[in-house]
Structure 1
Amino acid sequence: MQAGAMYATSSQNHKVLVLGAGFVSAPLIDYLTKHNDTAVTVASNIKQEVKNMSGKFKHASPIVLDILKETDRLTELVKGHDLVISLLPHTIHPPIAKLCIENKKNFVTASYVSPQIKELEKSALDAGISIVMEVGVDPGIDHMLAMQCFHDIKERGGNVSSFVSWCGGLPSPEDSENPLKYKFSWSPAGMLQSAMAGSRYLKDGKVIEMAEGGDNYKYGRQDISFMPGFHLEGFPNRDSIKYKDQYEIQEADTVFRGTLRYDGFVDSIIGLQQLGIVSSEMNSMLDEDSPDISWKQFISHILGGGSDISEEDLQQLVYKCVDENDHRLQTIIGLGLLSENIVPKLKSPLQSLAAHLATKLTYGNDERDMIVLRHEVIGQFNKGKTEHHNIDLVVYGEPAGYTAMAATVGYPCAIAARMVLLNKIETKGVVTPLKKAVYKPLLKELKRLGIKPKISITTN
């Protein structure tokens, strides 16, 4: 590509640089470029993504760029745009944010505010720019719907005594038939790593903690009674207690955020943990230059069996390893982990398993995903009045269109970027959508796009 076409040079008033051209990018670029005053440059190091994007959207210019290697070119791109949106992994955000600060360009991403980003607060303020974070679905829409409810209760003189939140990205029921009842619209490695994370939450004034390494699934699983047709289960999502301060609900004695899955998922993951293949420890058998090995051989080696073990004997070893749990054994068999298929050699069992699952549990062209979000908020008022607020959001993907995950991450991120471009987000520094001035117009625009919750309130 010629230098003159490095980035959007049209007469549009606003120029946006989007880093990453994966599945979330399409609705985001679609939204931004439907405004004729905005030109978008889309940069990706994956040539096929750039090829797929070419000619797809007016006012969008896709380019190939390796941001980790072509730092000088990235710097020039940042200088040539008004705002940068990163759809890349969260670990890459801090250096991009620093580059935006140096060049006084606003920065938007759907990812959580990390400690590294938080450290840039003063620099961003001094530069007079906004670093807008957590404008996806979780985090993002979940924050906005929660804050809207909290503010409503407080503005009427009440206090929030309990906040329980659930969210999950799932295949729609008709497309959920596989051993995990789950498909990947994001990183398989990320899902497996989160399965080993610990958690903290507050219940009736008591701090409940789950240790890292699998306790979250072993002891944190809960049956889900709402939306019974989906037959869901859930488990705690990392540190919920910090949201007492972030949401300004210090008076609450219950604060819980959890992840939703179809019933049976947790037990299946426990089986994989017991097998030892949700481990990030390096394994020499998975080195790039090691001999090819089948899943059957690898699992047999882990469990102390021979390389020529029979199928029946290996199943017996696995059965004992998973506490003679039939469901776990059938999951392992169904995922092809006792097969003659060759293990991807990616150094650790977790990364190899992730690559294997990515080939087996992906969405077909005619399949749908869905997002399920539920907030349960209790407000206490004078004279003993209590309100129970249930906020439900269910979004389905479109087989010929955008996935639910892409829409609920891409659209809010794009709307937030548009608000920054139009100076409708005036706050500088690190910004999240917790203030009414941010979440109110954002939720209004999401509603126009068809992403709207169902809210019910009961009083006693």
Structure 2
Amino acid sequence: MKILVLGVGLQGKAVLHDLERSEQVREIVAADMNAEAAEDHIRRKGYRKTSVVHLDATSTEHLERLLRSVRPHAVICMLPPHFGFKVAEAAVVCGVHFVSSSYTGDLVRLDQAARSAGVTLLPEMGMDPGIDLVLCRLALEELDQVHGLHSYGAGVPEPACADHNPLRYKISWTFDGVLKAYKRPARFLADGREVRVAEGKVFWPEYGHTVEVPGLGTLEAYPNGDAVAYMDTFGLGREVRAMGRFALRWPGHNALVNALSELGFLEDAPVDVGGCSVSPRQFLVHHLTPRLTFADDERDVVILLARAWGLKDGEPRRVSYWLIDYRDLETGLFAMNRTVGYTAAIGAQLILNCTITRRGLLNPARDVPPDVLLSELKRRGMTVQKEVEDHGAGTGI
């Protein structure tokens, strides 16, 4: 099989690493706007299957020409989310399967066209969303009646290097993307009531809580996007009293970022600084990135938790699925790179080896076989642990 990878950034590098090691994949084409840097990376890694081409993701014509000239069996899009629809649309036109780690968003508009073209579109195939959705499915399948579902995702520095700056955070994902996510509104259910969190308010204390992570201690949770939208994905009904998707950070991070948000540092609108037009958010990106960079011997840790509670055989039960992964210092790949990039690579291979045969717009929560994904993650050094509490489950927190 032949796979085209768009974007050779932090997560794209992990996709290439995984595909290079796959016996199923015979050829990989990596496309990036900075082809020279991508070629340098390929040379340094000694990759044998991968070639590099220039990418202009802003041009629909370029994308279609690229897909037609490369003629891949699948394209894995590791570009910023706003490019996703344009790439998926070109993939449908050219009859190429599409995988990405970004949210579904406008891709719903391509479902029928993809079906007609015999194309599979598999977004949300990363860490969060991605692995977390499959873990949620597993937890829900353990219950006869669901009263609540919470999922958590974190990409943070491990404790040994978490205190090296006041934010207790270091960059394993594009920092611009992180700050944009901090501004997103959110929606969740609590005690049967829908809670809407306005843009830029996710770090308000009343929306957060703490979570105890085995072997790591206490982390703080804040709402992460629209959890209520996933109720239909999982087929959940009115008996559900709580539904939440949360991200985790070390204590102190949320309060500090909330202060920055309240002071306008996450805003996009430029301000005049000595005759120069500067966005406050872009200032933070450029000023903080060198101060929040991991050293070569420092590791990040990814934490994923899916926790469902309700009734099993008439008795209260709470089921938790955990995945905790650390940076691989041998390859240099962060846990964030591994959980996002490897998962996307697995998704493409599951489509091409016919493990996934449905066409149109899919979602990991419904369409990725959990046992197969967990087996593939285990082969890549990631293991999932399950915890079942039969009594006194109370709330999901």
- TM-score relative to the length of structure 2: 0.91
In our comparison, the structure showing a higher alpha carbon Rg is: 1
Return the match for 1:238 from 213, 216, 225.
Answer: 225
Distance in 2, matches of 1:33 and 1:266, equals 38
| Structure 2 residue runs without a partner (length 5+) | 392-397
Count, aligned residues = 383
**Letter of the 2:222 counterpart:** F
- 1:260 correspondence with 2:248: yes
Matched-pair contact (CA < 8 Å) for 1:124–1:428: yes
Q: Distance in 1 between the 2:97 and 2:181 partners? A: 30
Give the alignment of 1:121-132 within 5 angstroms: 121-132=111-122
**Given that residues 185 and 196 in structure 2 are in contact (C-alpha distance below 8 angstroms), is that contact kept between their aligned partners in structure 1?**
yes
2:98, 2:241 → 1: CA distance? 35
Q: Which residue of 2 aligns with 1:51?
A: 40
- Which residue is equivalent to 1:76? 65
Q: For residue 259 of structure 2, what is the aligned residue in structure 1?
A: 271
* C-alpha separation in 1, matches of 2:148 and 2:292: 36
Look up the match of 1:316: none
CA distance in 1, matches of 2:41, 2:292: 22
Tell me how far apart the structure 2 counterparts of residues 68 and 441 of structure 1 sit (CA, whole Å): 35
Q: Deviations over 1:227-268 (max 9, x none)?
A: 474331111112111121111122321111111000000111
Structure 1: unaligned runs, 5 residues or longer: 1-13, 292-344
Query: For 1:159-308, what aligned pairs fall within 5 Å after superposition?
Result: 159-176=145-162, 177-214=164-201, 216-227=203-214, 229-250=216-237, 251-285=239-273, 290=275
Contact 2:152 2:245 in 1 (8 A): yes
Of 365-374 and 185-194, deviating more is 185-194
- Quick check: 88-97 or 60-69, which moved more? 60-69
Q: Is the 8 A contact 1:366 1:400 kept in 2?
A: no
Deviation of 1:275 after TM superposition, in Å, equals: 3.1
* Structure-2 separation of matches of 1:167 and 1:435: 19
Letter in 1 for 2:248: L
Give the distance between the partners of 1:269 and 1:160, measured in 2 at CA.
Answer: 34
- Runs ≥4 in structure 1, deviation > 4 angstroms? none
Q: CA deviation at 1:89?
A: 0.7
The answer to whether structure 1 residue 42 and structure 2 residue 30 are counterparts is yes
CA contact (8 A) 1:200 1:241 kept: yes
CA distance in 2, matches of 1:190, 1:252: 32
Residues 7-63 of structure 1 show CA distances to partners (whole Å, capped at 9, x for unaligned) of xxxxxxx11111111121233222223234520000111232332123631211122
Tell me the amino acid that sits aligned with residue 237 of structure 1: N
- Identify which range, 201-210 or 252-261, moves more after superposition: 201-210
CA distance in structure 2 between the aligned counterparts of 1:357 and 1:349, rounded to whole angstroms = 12
Greater strand content: 2
Q: Which residue of 1 aligns with 2:110?
A: 120
Aligned mate of 2:302, from 358, 371, 375: 371
Contact 2:203/2:258, CA 8 A, preserved across alignment:
no
What's the Cα RMSD here?
Answer: 1.9
- Where 2:10 maps in the other structure, the secondary structure is coil
What SS class does the counterpart of residue 163 from structure 1 fall into? strand
Give the TM-score, by structure 1 length: 0.79
Cross-structure match for 1:351? 282
Question: How many angstroms apart in 1 are the aligned matches of 2:337 and 2:148?
Answer: 30
In the alignment, residue 169 of structure 1 is paired with which amino acid? G
Q: Is the 8 A contact 1:109 1:134 kept in 2?
A: yes
Q: Is the 8 A contact 1:21 1:50 kept in 2?
A: no
Query: In 2, distance between residues paired with 1:76 and 1:226?
Result: 48
Q: State the identity %.
A: 28
